[in-house]
Structure 1
Amino acid sequence: MKLNRISLLMLAFFSYCFQFYLIAQPVKHDYVFKSGDDGYATFRIPAIVTTTSGKILAFAEGRVKNSSDNGNIDFVMKSSDDGGITWSKLKVIWNDGENACQNPAPVIDRQTGKIFMLMTRKLGTDKEPDIIDQKSNEAIRVFVMQSEDEGQSWSEPSEITKDVNPGNWTWYATGPCHGIQLEKGKYKGRLVIPCDHIEAGTKKYFSHTIYSDDNGKTWQLGGRTPQDQVNECTVAELPDGRLVLNMRNYDRTKKTRKNSFSNDGGESWSDLQPVETLPEPICQASILFSPVNGKLYFMNPADENNRVNMTLKSSNDSGLSWKTEEILHAGPSAYSDLTLINKNTLGCLFEAGEHSGYEGIVFATFEIKN
């Protein structure tokens, strides 16, 4: 009996040490946004795109006072002209005083070279539960900005709430991650942004898309998922022209991501399907299709229960099966985004830290292989 007790104690000790090993992993990549820098307590919610000339634009929420989703939050960015080796000084692209500018969803129109940034804005004093319960002082509003000089300057935010919210949605978020421009078939040229919302009354969570067919001049509401319990999502165009929407999943009977597919450019979506090989702890993730090798790439904290183990995976069968390419950070990690820098290189932007996943936003590259 004494031996069994000692064995159990040793097992518990080694289990604790293993958990600590996972949590206390040093970050091996460079921070683009480091919490505490440039007058911001925390940087969160990364998004990234590569312009037509090869410039990388990295976006984030600059949270002034703390790490909270509420309060004074600015939209900030940095750029890189050398593939992410060095980065520019921080630029604030939207500061709305004490209010919260959130959920970056950039997309590049390759036909015009313009960059569009879709985002949401709420009062800094309004909290998510009050917004969902319709007790907030103001509803969440949806905006778009654009840049015609690769992010050096941006237009004033233009509100599109009435165009993309039917009026009975309380919570609303764009992205947060990059959007896409469709390259095939009937809907070629369409700009598509993944989004999510909560219904008034039912308080059910859904994912949906919004899109533009006129090079970003106007935006309209696409389809929403037929089932609920999903929200933050990421979208990619498959080789056969279908779209795949990959979603954060709140259904804990299957601790995995969920997929939905569209045959009409995001105007409607198929029934939700669990993705058995993509475990998740209820967290945002990112997906990207590479035309170089025909593979889908996916990145998230690959753990069923905790935001740890930021992992890059690939699929050569349109997401039916997945192979682990690289564990980018074994320790605490959370939100992420992906970009194709050039035909040989994938750019990975993600939240990570040694003791907390919100110590900063780091950048890593991955060599694309056929």
Structure 2
Amino acid sequence: MRKILCIVLCVLLAVGVLVAGLGFVITPKSAKAPNDPVEGVKPFSASSELSCNYYRIPALWTTQSGTVLAAIDARYGGTHDSPNNIDAAVSRSFDAGQSWESPRLVAGFRDWANDGMLLKSNGSYTVADSASVIDPALLEDTTTGRIFLLMDAFPANAGAPASEVGTGYTQIDGQPALLLRKAGETEFSYTLREDGAIYDEAGAKTEYTVNARGEILENGQPLFLAQRRQKYWFNVPYVVETGEQVPMHIFYDGALFSALGTSYLYLLYSDDDGKTWSEPVELNAQVKPENVGFFGVSPGRGVQLTTGAHKGRLLFTAYALDAETGEQQFAALFSDDGGKTWQSGEFVTLTDEIRSMSETQLVECPDGSLLAFSRTTSGYMSVSRSTNGGESWSAPTLDDALPLSAGSGCQVSALRINRKLDGKDVVLLSAPAGEGRKNGFLYVGVLEADEAGTYGVDWKYKKELTDADTYFAYSCLTELPDGNIGLLYEQTNIAQSVDTVVFCSYTFSELCETPLD
């Protein structure tokens, strides 16, 4: 009997070791959601046609036509970051956020099936072998009406801490060429060039090409991979094939040619108010520094300058992570030709007091200068300034009027609205002030210039959005067509929480009821 028991234990151990190498951790198939869904309007819900239980990282924008556009991560593999099975979803509202159309996916990958399974809250439950997109930011060019959606993209097994140093490109005859590694080889000796063909290390064109979606073709015929699905035997996860063959992408595990395992930047656009979207354009060759591993989007919103020397400039922010030190610094990404080409500015300089400035949101001042509000690990938000359209930044300072959850901090949302208070332009900011991303506040301030003409914010009011015991994590603000303020936020910080991304709206007078102490 003892011998039989030992054999059974050895078999179970072997199965555990086997599945551990498949990119999974142990998760009960019938796990119960770790939360009760919160009340409120939900543009993205587990009950939608997307069959996704987990959503994170909201972005929000009101278009010139009055449509309220929301974007978010559809995290099929659980709420954790990349590497994971994550796609990008959008939804629209035509009545100032009271109701929303059915959400739809606009970017993502098909290497793993998008199954709506429930996972336990404890542990890091991800599909690590999946390619992913993550962290959306929205921006509209008011001249053309084109809406941009920027996000990170990762090959299988890559994420923020696990991003190899480099852009993933080399230069050939002055033009960027994507580096590729052929299956079974160790070096990235192949290149994808402007004509869409893959060239070998001798510079000879091969029979392989890559289309605009990143899919590999041989002699003009698409190559395929078997799509995979996560299943369970009791509490032990294992992998099966779905029976569907999906186009082979250079980001997929098992592809004939694969890209460098680092962070990439995907830019999509819509010319019909967010109804349909372009294929993604990859921006690393234009904006990512060669000596950086992770270089990712600050989720939320971008800005377009309306005055000054750089009027019309489009800006997002991105940040770099030093995986060894944990230090993070942001830089602006900007375009002066309507989003056709992009450049990156200088990184903000860290100080002894501020060793991390990651996810950052921008506000334009009346003179065209910029204020940057950044997530830090110092217990307060930081503020830095640019007088050259985001090309460089002043030394940052902490704003003691803007407490931020201690520890790793949290993303913030900042917005200048089309309203005056005491004759001055109004800025709004939302973020959690309490421990563990609880106790969310929305702050109201006015833009004021000092004697030297340098703008800052005088914070006047605050509104408590969630109490000290209620979560308030990532958020995004927008000014609604009716003049109210819209807010899309995560009312949780617990892994694998279901239906906790909520849309709310407030009148301006509601936000100005409590003066800032």
Question: How would you bin the TM-score normalised by the shorter chain?
Answer: 0.7 to 0.9
Q: Does 1:95 align with 2:100?
A: no
The Cα shift of 1:224 comes to 1.6
Q: 1:340 is matched with which residue? A: 479
Distance 1:290 1:242 in 2: 16
The one-letter code sitting in structure 1 at the alignment partner of 2:383 is N
Give the match for residue 55 of structure 2.
43
Q: 1-side partners of 2:106 and 2:43: how far apart?
A: 16
Query: Equivalent of 1:299, from 412, 425, 430?
Result: 430
Q: Paired residue for 2:503? A: 363
Q: Following the alignment from structure 2 to structure 1, what is the Cα–Cα distance between the partners of residues 164 and 377?
A: 17
What displacement does 1:241 show?
2.1
Counterpart amino acid of residue 362 in structure 1: V
Distance 2:497 2:299 in 1: 16
The answer as to 2:43 corresponding to 1:32 is yes
Counterpart Cα distance in 2 of 1:268 and 1:354:
34
Match of 1:279 among 378, 396, 403: 403
Structure 1 residue aligned with 2:162? 130
Q: State the one-letter code of the partner of 1:237.
A: E
Match of 2:23 in 1: none
Query: 2:358, 2:374 within 8 Å by CA — same for their partners in 1?
Result: yes
2:151 equivalent among 116, 119, 129 = 119
1:77-92 matches, cutoff 5 A:
77-92=90-105
Closer/same/farther in 2, CA of residues 119 and 26 from structure 1, 3 Å limit: closer
> Quick check: 1:332–1:356 contact (8 Å CA) kept in 2?
no
User: Match of 1:30, as an amino acid?
Assistant: V
Q: Distance in 1 between matches of 2:427 and 2:295?
A: 27
Report the CA distance shift for 1:123/1:298 in structure 2 as closer, same or farther (over 3 A). Answer: same
The answer as to whether partners of 1:311 and 1:324 remain within 8 angstroms in 2 is no
CA contact (8 A) 1:104 1:174 kept: yes
Highest CA radius of gyration, 1 or 2?
2
Root-mean-square deviation (CA, aligned residues, Å) is 2.4
Cα 1:150–1:203 change in 2 (3 A) is same
CA contact (8 A) 2:302 2:314 kept: yes
Distance 1:365 1:140 in 2: 35
Distance 2:36 2:471 in 1: 8
Following superposition, the deviation at residue 133 of structure 1 comes to: 7.9
In structure 2, distance between residues paired with 1:209 and 1:339: 21
Note if 1:310 corresponds to 2:437.
Answer: no
Alpha-carbon spacing, 1:34–1:309, altered in 2? closer, same or farther (3 Å): farther
Cα distance change of structure 1 residues 163 and 328 upon mapping to structure 2, 3 Å threshold = same
1:1-370 superposed matches below 5 A: 27-35=38-46, 37=48, 38-70=50-82, 71-97=84-110, 98-131=130-163, 138-199=261-322, 204-227=327-350, 228-251=355-378, 255-281=379-405, 282-293=409-420, 294-303=425-434, 305-318=435-448, 319-330=456-467, 331-342=470-481, 344-353=483-492, 358-359=497-498, 360-369=500-509
Contact 1:40 1:65 (C-alpha < 8 Å) held by counterparts: no
In structure 2, the CA distance between the partners of 1:276 and 1:352, relative to structure 1 (3 Å rule), is same
The answer (yes or no) to whether the contact 2:45–2:53 under 8 Å persists in 1 is no
- Cα distance in 2 for residues equivalent to 1:175 and 1:354: 19
Partner secondary structure for residue 163 of structure 1:
helix
Q: After the TM superposition, which of the residue ranges 320-329 and 46-55 deviates more from structure 2? A: 320-329
Give the deviation of 1:96 after TM superposition.
Answer: 1.7
Q: What is the CA-CA distance between 1:310 and the residue it aligns to?
A: 1.8
Distance 2:37 2:462 in 1: 20
Measure the CA separation in 1 of the matches of 2:100 and 2:444: 27
Structure 2 counterpart of 1:259, one-letter code: V
- Please say if residues 350 and 362 of structure 1, whose CA atoms lie closer than 8 Å, have aligned partners that are also in contact: yes
Equivalent pairs: percent with the same residue?
Answer: 30
Residue 143 of structure 1, CA deviation:
1.6
Deviation at 1:302, TM superposition (A): 1.9
Residue 458 of structure 2: SS of its match in structure 1?
coil
Counterpart CA distance in 1 for 2:361 and 2:496 is 20
Q: Which moved more, 1:211-220 or 1:327-336?
A: 327-336
Match of 1:21 in 2: none
Look up the equivalent residue of 2:436 and give its one-letter code. Answer: N
- 1:123-164, Cα deviation, whole Å (9 max, x unpaired): 242243332689x96111112111000111111001111111
- What is the aligned partner in structure 2 of residue 13 from structure 1? none
8 Å contact from structure 1 (residues 168, 200) kept in 2: no
CA displacement 1:201-247 (0-9 Å, x = unmatched): 76531011100001111111123201141111111101232101100
**CA distance, structure 1, for counterparts of residue 309 and residue 443 of structure 2:** 30
TM-score w.r.t. length of structure 1? 0.86
TM-score (norm 2): 0.62
Residue range with higher mean Cα deviation, 114-123 or 220-229: 220-229
Partner AA of 1:233 in structure 2: T
Cα deviation, residue 28, structure 1: 4.8
CA contact 1:41–1:67 (8 Å) conserved in 2: no
Provide the C-alpha distance between the structure 1 equivalents of 2:477 and 2:269, rounded to a whole number of angstroms.
20
Residues 342, 137 of structure 1: alpha-carbon distance in 2 compared, 3 angstrom cutoff: same
| 3-state SS, counterpart of residue 110 of structure 1 | coil
228-237 vs 109-118, which moves further:
228-237
- Measure, in 2, the Cα distance between the counterparts of 1:356 and 1:29: 20
Offset, 1:29? 2.9
SS in 1 for 2:286: helix
Q: Matched residues in 1 for 2:159 and 2:482: separation?
A: 43
Q: Which residue type is aligned with residue 465 of structure 2? A: L
- Which runs of 5 or more structure 1 residues have no equivalent in the other structure? 1-23
The residue number in structure 2 matching 1:12 is none
Match in the other structure for 2:226: none
Query: Alignment length, in residue pairs?
Result: 342
